[in-house]
Chain A
Amino acid sequence: MKGRPESRPLLKVENLNVGYSGMPVLHDVTLEVHPAEMVALVGSNGAGKTTLLRALSRMLPCTGRVAMNGREFEGLTPDQVFGLGLVQVPEGRQLFDRMTVQDNLLMGSYRRMDKAVIARDLDRIYTLFPPLAERRHLLAGNMSGGEQQMCAIARALMAAPVLMMVDEMSLGLAPVVVEQLMKVLTDIRTDGVTVLLVEQDVHLALSYADRGYVMETGNIVREGRARDLLNDQTIRKAYWGL
């Protein structure tokens, strides 16, 4: 059986430490994400997941090494990180409620110059997300939670991301809708989009991801292949820090 060659990590995080006004929030976080992978980052509230994403986007000061495709993030600003292809789908969606769906999507491609490719991508998005195609002239704020989440993911895709970080997608959504969205996230990997999925719902995230990391109070307390973590009976202990 041919073994898979070790792919170089797309994102490499080493010894990341983040603190808020004197209080340390993340301790020595080390993780990596490989190309076309889906990595789940799970943990309860207050574990530091969103803080980690914000630190990666350089919205927070931190110490430690972060590199994507070999490019170090030291000294970069959030928009520069975005320019490198690290795109976040934030918690709570953060859509432009009073703009149409189409305008929201176009805002995602705001920094891109290649107009023809953008138009093509928009068509692709509408194929991928039929409900958005139907609602393209609707105000984003008038859609249901699931549709808004879909729009948020689509908007991130319009930025032609290299690595997409999705923060707490499942919050407040019906299970059926969540499954649909997870399927989309799995599908886009064939297009070369790598996904870092941050979730409270451990079982959900691990049943779709390739690998996973469990965070508890600012530390990575467990990691491994998603399948192995799912079968781990003691995972709740790690989740709760027991």
Chain B
Amino acid sequence: MKARNMGLILAALVLLAGLPWYGSDLLVQFGINALLLAVLAQGWNIIGGYTGYASFGNSVFYGLGSYGVAIAMVQWHLPFGVGMLFGVVLAVAFAVLLGVPVLRLRGHYFAIATLALAAVMTAIVSNLSLAGQNIGLVLPPLNNDKLFYELSLGLLTITTLTIWGLTRSRFGFGLIAIRENEEGAAVMGVNTTLYKVTAFTLSGIFSALAGGIHAYWITFLDPESAFDLTLNVKMIIMAVFGGPGTVFGPIVGAFSLSAISEFLSSEVTSIAGLFFGVVIVAAVVFMPRGLADMLRRGRDMGWGYFAENIRRHRL
């Protein structure tokens, strides 16, 4: 990695870390949301972007992480850290036990199966008294947005570092091979089952951690909001908009789309949804491989980049 880029990233990190001191309260809250969304997008990136398995089950991991923290703190009076660990354990168990059968499916079938899992989890948790059933749980309040902000930033940094490490590791190359040609990868010596389940698990761990932080920050959760499917859709859109299979793409996607969404809701409230939809459609038409790809190749190709995308996708 070039020294100049390294410097820029460190500078950005420092700037971001300092936000709670120079930014408004509203901005910090926006920041926490955006950062957690970025973590989710990055988590999805591992299984969806790099391995090529578009998961609609990441919201399950998020929910498990939330409930892990909530149950540990509310029912068993354990500290937050232990709660986070518990959430991770739940996520890993889920990923390994259900990942093995579900990852045998390809493409659309895999997506549908994970979708089904999400629905099932909501139903199960709604009936668990330990989890407060339909009413949910209320966590002990902690009024310290600064702390949550830094935790979220820290989590995003770790997640991104992990992905960066992936791109230089045998494991990461194996995932890419699976994405590009799973049969070819197997024949080349990649233990595809092991790698897929590991990617799913890794993706789940980060999603769970994000869920845990969010639960403690909001101090309330119920099955509907914890396993919210629209969250999964959001994280996919953000990852894909920014650039799936890249290190920074999902972060850029999450930040930019959060900002656009925020701006639209405040300025043009009534048709915010419509505009957001138009933005997404335009992105899919003109830059289907995400912002990252556009920035990289658009520079050399100029306007021809968009023309080629339209032609290639036969519009």
Q: Do chains A and B touch in the complex (CB under 8 A)?
A: no
